[in-house]
Structure formats: C-alpha cells, structure tokens
Structure 1
Amino acid sequence: MNPPIVHTLTRTLSPSPDIARDTGHARPDQGRESAEHCPSENTPNSQLTSPVAPEKPASPHSPQTTTSSLTPDVPVSESAGLPSAAIDAWVTHLIGQVEDSMSAILAAGRERSTGMDPSYPPLWDALGDALRGGKRVRPRLVLGAYLALRTGEDALAVPDSVILTAVAQELLHGAFVVHDDVIDGDLVRRGHPNVTGNLLASHPRRHSDPARARRDAEASAIIGGDLLLTAAQRQLALLDVPADVRVNLLDLFDEAVHVTAGGEHADVVLAALPPGTPPITRILTMTEHKTASYSFSVPLRSGAVLAGADRNLLRALDAVARALGLAFQLQDDHLGVFGESARTGKSITADLESGKNTALLSLARASDAWPLISALTTTPDAHTTTHWAGVQEALIRAGVRDRHHAVVTTALDRARSAVQDPALPPRLRAYLDAVIADLEERDV
C-alpha cells in the first residue's frame, strides 16, 4: 500500500522535489478581493505577490516573508489551482517562512528587552523555548485553507499577509499554552520545562523559599503569555490588506480569545463541582469551546477570508472546524491516558490525577475502575507505575477506552457530514477530508 499523500496534522512531509524555494522578498500586497466574494479564476493577479530581488534586510519589527514559486514541472491548473493532494506538501514548504517570521518577532522582542531590567531578556528566552517545535497545526490550517481556495496559475504566490496571519495563529496558541500551564500548575510540556519551569530553575529563592519562587515564576509566565497575545494581535492589525479583510481577521481573533477563555473558565469551574455532577453534554460543550475555535475554526476561516470566501462558505467551514476541534481535544484526552508517554510527551497520570471533568473522566467515574483512580488522590503511596498500569487495564476492561473512542468517532463523523455542505468547493472538501483522515490516525 502506498503511504498517504497528505499529512496535514501529525506528520511533516519533505517539500516535493518539484518545488523550489525562492529567497527573494515579497512585495507588499497590492490588494485583495473583499471577504464577501468567492475566489475565482478571474481574480486579478495584482492581488498576489511575486518574488523580486531583495533590497535590504527585513525589519525585526515588521518581519517580511518570501513568496515562493513552483517550477514548471508542477502542474497548476489555471481554473483549478493546486491539486488538493499536493496542498500539504506545499504547506510544509511554506512553514519555513512561518518559522522565520516568528523567530524574527521573538528576536525583536528580546532585543527591545535588553535596554530594560536584566531579568527581562530571560523571559523572552523562555518564550522562545516554549514556541520551539510542535506540529504547527494552526498555521498549517491557515495556509491549507488559503491554497485550497485559490485558483489561477499564480495560486501559490502566497502573500506576506497569509504568512503573517499563520504566524499570528501560532503566537496565539503559544499564549494560551503558557497560560494553560499556569492554570494547570504544570512545569513541563512535551517532556521539557515550560515557561514557568524555565523561570523557576533560575529563581534565586528556588531552594530557600520554593513556594515564593513558584509563585513568582508563574506570575512572570502570565506576563509572557500576555506578550505573545499582543504580538499575535499586532500581526493582524498591521497587515497590508483592505480594511474590511483586516476587520474580519481581527473579529475572528477576538472570537478565538473570547470563546477559548470561556471554555477555559468553564473547565476551571466544572473541576470544582462534585464528582459526577456536570452531565457529559456540558463537558463536551466546554471541551469544544476550549479548543475548537482557536485551533481549527479561526485558522481555517482566516485562511478562507484571505482567499476571498463569502459568508456561506465561512459558515460551512465553521461547522466542520468545530467538530474537528472537539475530536482533536478528545483525542488529546484519550492519548493522555491510553497513549505512550514516550511518543506523546504527555504523562499518562496527569489528567486522571487532576480530577478535571473531561469526557473520559466522566465515563471513568461511572465505571468499575473508579475506585482505583480515586485512590490516587487520597493515597500518596498509590502513585506507582504498577498502580497506573493497573488503572489503565481496569479502564480497558470496564469498556471506558472503547466508549470514549466512540465519542471521538462521533465527532469525526459530524465533521465528515459537515464537509458535504455544498457551500464548500470541491477542492476545499478534498483538503478537509484529508485533515479528517489524518486526525483519525493521530497517535501523538
């Protein structure tokens, strides 16, 4: 069997040998169609940028990105644009520009910090460490949606505005991750010290007054998350696009912050309720709000807005994305208990120990395995590898793993159904089908 062509979420493809990267700077956007119009083969070429020779280094305060071009060997239909099966390879190629722009933004922030208190640059260093690595799911979705909707022979001449919008989505993700780790009291992420952990390691009172040191490190981490949040919003506010496009993108950004904050707040509140109190429907709503908007819906719709999508397309795309986001978070919870820590970088004990009201924990509370899990929070001696292996086995025997997997499958089926909306063009539907397929196979 041939390997799958599209690996949008969980794997990184090497750029196609038929794709060459141009190192010239892109010209500023010349304009773009209103978000009220669908893209078509008649979209003026002046609305895209093309490579020109570099004139001077980009300012770190307004990082410029390059616009790449395809070699003649890569077929791009004038009416259909890039074939859907090739979109992900081109997205992977463009992610390098996202990384470069994000590095420039962080470097600029650190450079500005050197003229202030000597404690400030290390905070920027910790933020840089926190943003290093990862699957770049959100930037990939921005780029993928844009490419899936663009048509014409120059459909891959991606302007700076698209790259920087992708950057903004990853910076927003970074801000949420930093804040989420503080909320959860975590010091590690993906097996490495997070922002709080890095700052704590250098705190002068980490040994003499560990509680004070921890409190100070968390306070600084919150400040760091705020810096990433404002940096993300700044990228969108300064985009060289028509005013209505900028307003639409900022409205989507505001939606992502508002909905995600509501989901996080609900997560905190639900965790304090008596065990078994919140119904699973309320937990699933909280889960969707916490992840779907900023991780899937807003990135996909932002790319679509930049490609000129109309309201009907954006509505249909939101329906698909919300189901995808719910499935993604449910899978995260599933891997957090039943996955391999060596592959996922997640502790298999953290979610169960926290007692947070996830859908999986709700199912576990109603099972015969709950007494074993409950012992973890009441008996310190129960925190052993052997005990946790017994918990996993008990959850599997009780059918919790299968029932939770069925909840994930239901969310994926909801996404598949939403993809059939006739408001979604065929190439975008094919791209979204590939995203769903990759999500279904996710194991990290």
Structure 2
Amino acid sequence: MTNNDRRVSIGVSGAAPVRIWVNSVANIPEIARPRPATHAHEAFMRPDFEASIAGAPTVKTTSTTSLKTIGLIPTLYYISGGGIHLQHSNLSSNAIDKETGGISVSTVEEIKILGLTVDCGLTFNAHIANVCRKALGVYKQLSKAARVNWGLHPEIIKIIYKATVERIIAYAASAVAPATHKVRTKKKELNTVQRLFAQKKICKGYRTVSLSAALVLAGMLPLDIRIRENSALYEARRKEKFRHLPEDRQVERKAPYTARPHPSEDHQIPVAHITSEEEVAAQVDGAVQIYTDGSKIEGKVGASISIWIDRAETTAKKKKKIKLSSYCTVYQAELLTLSKAAEVAASGTSIKYAIMSDSLAIDTIVNSELLHPLAMEARRYLRQARLGGKSVTLHWVKAHIGIQGNERADALAKEAALTSRGRTEEHYDRYPVSFVKGSSQGVPIFTCLY
C-alpha cells in the first residue's frame, strides 16, 4: 500500500462497511468495474457496481453509489436500512480527474442526494441555503394574498407556514441536525425566513421588533430547534429506547412488517354496529359478551373489560380493571383492553364470543395493514381463537345510550384510572410518540434539551 492508495468503504444494508484499498481503476477486479455507459449520468445512476473481496461476501452498491464507492469523490455515501450514512474519506482536497469506461469523472465539492445537498465538510451550508431559498419562494407567493391591511388572516398564514415552510426547512432533519449547533452564518438565513413570517405576516409588527419577541408573540419555535426536534422525533420512532427518557421505559413503536402473518392466515373480521339494547340481543344472542372501554380522567389513564352472559354480568372475578401510566393515551387504553378481550376469548372455554367497544380503535384491529403493537397482539389472540374452533365477532356499540354492558365497562375504566398506583399494578407503560413529541402542556420537550 502506497501513499497514492485510496481508501474506499462500501456500505451494505444491515452490515458494517467493508473497506478496500485501490490506487487506480485498473487495480479494481474485473467483476468490480462498472460497464461502459452511453451517457455520463448513467454511470452514477446504475446499481451495477459489484465488488468481491477476500474474506467478505459479495457486495453490491445501490443507486447513486456506483462510482463514489471506488474512491473518485472525497465524500463517501452509502445507503442502508437505517437511511443515508455519510463518511468522509481521507482523500486530498485537490481535484482528482479519473476516467473509467470511457467516462471522465472528477471530484466535486458538494452533491445532491434525494433532495439533500451534502458538502465535503458536512456543514450542510449549501443545503440550508437551498431550503431557505425555496421557503422564500413560498413567502413571495404568500405576499400576493396577504397584505398589512387586507388578505389572509394571521392564523391562516400560520397554518400555511407550519404546513409548508417548516416542512421544507426540516427536510432530512436527522442528517442536518448535528450541524445546526455550529452553523452560525446559516442560522442568519433561517432567522431571515422566520422573521418575514413571524414579524411581517403573523404579528404585523414594526421592523424594530426583535425576532425573539416576534416568535413569542406568534407562538413559533426557532427553525434550528425545529430541525433538532424533528431529528429527535425520528430517532424516537426508530429506536425502542430514547436517550432523553428514563432508562427503564421504552417508546411505543410499530411492529416490523415481517411480523405480519402470512396472507393465507390473515382472516378479516367485519365490525357490526349496534345502536340499541335490542340490537345487542339480536346480534349476539347466545354469545359471551366482552365489553371494553378506556378512560383518561384527571391526568390518569385506565381501562376495563366486563363480561356478560344473557344480559347479566358474570362474577366479580370475570371483570378486570387495567391501570396504565399517566402519559399513555386513551387510544392506547382502548387498544390494550381490546387485546385483553381477545386474550379472554382465546383462552376461554366457551365457543362463541362477541367483543364490544364504543371506540373507533376497533377499526385498527380489523385493518391488518396497521402495525400498532397492541393491534398486532389482539390479532394474534383472535387468530388463536379461530384456530381453536371458536367464533369471535367484533361489534362497535354507540356510547351513552343505555346499553348496560357498555355503561358498566365505562364505570370500571374510570375506577381503574382513579385508583392509586399502589393498589393497581400498571399493565402498560410504553411512551406514545405523541408524548415524545411534546408534553401534555403543549411545550415541546426538545426545547429544553438544546
């Protein structure tokens, strides 16, 4: 290996990068060379670059990594299941001109990948400049319909700002977020964009009003913090544990797509609607009725199931009150109690069951495309019951119309929520993504992290 050798890292989805050393294109094995292209851009876009390395499996680059992985560009990019990863190679900053397959390739200071402009120093100054330029275009179009004394209402402008400008600026936030701590000059560009909306269009203040005051009056978060917030939220969705939350608690995340059953085992259960006590007797006659409900009251969360047979509740042992952590949502409580009801049906001795709920969360159970972990668990129990020869039906009941079983489940859920923690064990304590995004007071928890 000489000083002229160039280090190359090839990233493989789900594996660590494999490093090889080459000093020219001629030294790359024949199998590793890309085939000639008719146009220059084809050499960058074809996913046909393969390399076989001793002691490592055959690797294949994807999409735009074809020529970058052979050391011709100073910044290395590779794509894996976790997203786009960046690694700066130790190449000289001087321009390097190479020719491969009859195509002349030279180094560049920056490159655009899927809308993200990446520079050699990973400062993302060019990316911030590009998104700010695009956001200013939105402002110019908005200015035609919103003047000082006429036009769109400030609240409408704020909605447009959040739906367009913040989304444009926060694009690829997980890659840009680390650079927002050190980018000083580009923060001015972010502030310029935000000042136009906060000061001129929403607050409609004088030019002498400071940006900080305008942001407070407009109820807007600084854009650099918004970028870091989006990055942290993305991290929370990808990982079970989030570094800003207690170590003993996990963030609720979607189940992997591979956890779904085989399509041949995926049995769709229709949901019947019940709007009166008479319809209960007509639709679920002879079945064990399992009423479910979830409740959040005084900042406390509870759920319950109540089992009825022939219009009468069974013994007290058959009813169940479930406690959830205070940061859980009613949606989680409803899904949890539906899962518990499905478990009762799967493990019970009866042949016919009817699960009753007044929540639209029951639609989540039916839709097999939704990968909520509690919904996946409920489907698993329903599948077990079906394989055991049992009949389980799902019913949505209208709330607060005098259906005895539903009213009883509602009362038990409120009791479970108000019961002290010491008397009732918490059955579910995973943080919902909504809690990670912001506290119950509506103040983003990320504002205190940076």
TM-score scaled to structure 1, two decimals?
0.27
The structure carrying a bigger strand percent of its residues is 2
- More relative contact order, 1 or 2 (CA 8 Å, 6+ apart): 1
The structure carrying a bigger helix percent of its residues is 1
Query: Greater CA radius of gyration, 1 or 2?
Result: 2
